[in-house]
Amino acid sequence: MAYVLGLDISTTGAKALIVDERGTVVASHTTPQPISAPKPLWSEQNPADWWDGIVASIRAALSESGIGADEISAIGVTGQMHGLVLLDAGGNVLRPSILWNDQRTQAQCDQMTEKIGFERLIQLTGNRALTGFTAPKILWVRENEPEVYARAAHILLPKDYLRLKLTGEYGMDMSDASGTSLLNVAERRWSTEVADALNIPIEWLPTLYEGPEISGVISEAAASETGLKAGTPVVGGGGDQAAGAVGVGAVKPGIISLVVGTSGVVFAPLDRYAYEPNGALHAFCHAVPNTWHFMGVMLSAAGSLQWFHDTLAHGETFDDLLAPTKDIAPGSDGLLFLPYLTGERTPHPDPLARGAFVGLTVRHTRAHMARAVLEGVAFGLRDAFELIRMAGLPAQIEVRVSGGGAKSPLWKQIIADVLNAPLVSTNSTEGAGYGAALLAAVAAGMYPDVPTACAQAIITSDLVTPGDERAAYDKPYTLYRDLYPALKGTFRQF
């Protein structure tokens, strides 16, 4: 039996999982990660903590499985996207990493848009300038920490710092590079036009790799620290969203990944580059070679239900909270919920957007409000689907749903009805780390390509099809879409 190792550095944990050649997870271990918010809007982590955490998790996974290091055929890496790791010429970290959820760089985003042009930036990079992305973070360091910037020689993302520590190589995969605002996404190469406009040295940017492409091998030093075998190949891997899509088999057009976690993510693979002209959707390279994807992100999906539970049903189970909502008709008797509790990204990139209940009357109960939350999140997800449909989504689709929200049969049925699309679950529950392992399995020759790996390793189940109540959501959804334009001005007064 041959094995592969998937490594995932998320915001909260450093995970290592071992997968056999049949796609079965045989060991998994996660080491919690600290996070720092030294000032308002700031979010940072120390890359040294990532390395210490992943070393601990690798050793624990090897010990738990009883598998020898020489049985690991290849290693895949994934992790949180966009975080800036700035290093000097010797590979030493110059400052804590500025993370994906850091919000300090709006002024730099405005500068990028002014220098490059709104339309041209989207044409080249597939996206508008966003505070979460990497390039504005580089500009912020240059303007606010010139002594740090003067020593810089390399730019990496979180998972790629692990690659450097594992192999000694500076590399980045196409999907993660897409979230830097420095990649020509259509041509899968660094954009000299963007780098020159921003005066960012192109030589600071690492070598680019496809997801299953070998980017280096485990060094003697890394082998000594981790317990891995020197010379073991490490592949390009992917950003967490692309690797997560591989992990559920969303690797070709028509198979959509829908994650109903704290945030909601709609991930639609494309066989050609395309972009949404207003930047309302993300357009990235996939971790699958010569494949791209659209992605819509709503910031408070299951997070909206968590807020409602903690605020109005503290001490009750989610099952008890949702049980009465089954008796509420679609549309919640005229009650609508706007799920912008932490601002929004798709289709309204607006950090000032706010949540709201609209239509409350004395006849509405807590059950109506809970049902409206479920429906409001489903409407928010439909916003992303509508944008993707207008950009050329295939007529026949299968939606593979995951995340905490997918545990509710009622919520899954509401989402299937609102989207008018079938939903299925998958046997893979390890997320991005599992996708990274499958990318490594392709490099190891266990499968000829990524789609074959997914077809053989991933099993779908629990089909939920749109029901008779599907049409009942059309009018509430139309009313829901009118809410943000009507309330946008009010939100800015808070």
The pLDDT of 314-325, averaged and rounded, is 95
Query: What is the model's pLDDT at position 10?
Result: 93
Cα separation, 36 vs 136, whole angstroms: 20
According to the model, what pLDDT value does residue 425 have?
Answer: 94
Quick one: pLDDT at residue 121? 98
Q: Put residue 117 in one of left, alpha, beta given phi > 0 → left and psi -120 to 50 → alpha.
A: left
Rounded CA gap, 299 and 344, in Å?
A: 6
CA 414, CA 387: separation in Å to the nearest integer? 20
Closest Cα to residue 1, out of 485, 441, 371? 441
Answer yes or no: is pLDDT of 393 > 80.
no
User: What is the pLDDT, as a whole number, of residue 141?
Assistant: 98
- Which CATH number fits the domain 249-426+459-494, given the four candidates 2.40.50.140, 3.40.50.300, 3.40.50.11540, 3.30.420.40? 3.30.420.40
> Nearest CA to 276 among 177, 347, 368, 197?
347
CATH of 3-242, one of 3.30.420.40, 3.90.1260.10, 1.10.240.10, 3.40.50.300: 3.30.420.40
| Three-state secondary-structure class, residue 225 | helix
List all residues 6 or more positions away from 383 whose beta carbon is below 8 Å from its beta carbon. 296, 298, 346, 347, 481
Q: Mean per-residue pLDDT for 137-149?
A: 98
Outline where 199-341 has alpha helix (H): 220-226, 240-248, 302-312, 318-322
According to the model, what pLDDT value does residue 396 have? 79
Q: What is the mean pLDDT of residues 387-404?
A: 86
Q: What is the mean pLDDT of residues 128-147?
A: 96
335-373 pLDDT per residue, tens: 999 999 988 989 998 888 999 999 999 999 999 999 999
pLDDT for 20 equals 96
Read off the pLDDT of residues 102-124 as tens digits, 9 standing for 90 and up.
889 999 999 999 999 999 999 99
Which part of the chain is CATH 3.30.420.40?
3-242, 249-426+459-494
User: pTM score, two decimals?
Assistant: 0.93
Across the chain, what does the average pLDDT equal?
96
Catalytic residues, by residue number, are 240
pLDDT at 391: 81
* 127 in Cβ contact with 159 (< 8 Å): no
> Which amino acid belongs to residue 345?
R
Q: Label residue 392 by pLDDT band (50, 70, 90).
A: confident
Pairing assessment for the beta strands 3-9 and 13-20 based on DSSP bridges: antiparallel
Q: What is the DSSP letter of 229?
A: P
Which amino acid makes up residue 409? P
CA distance 78 to 244: 9
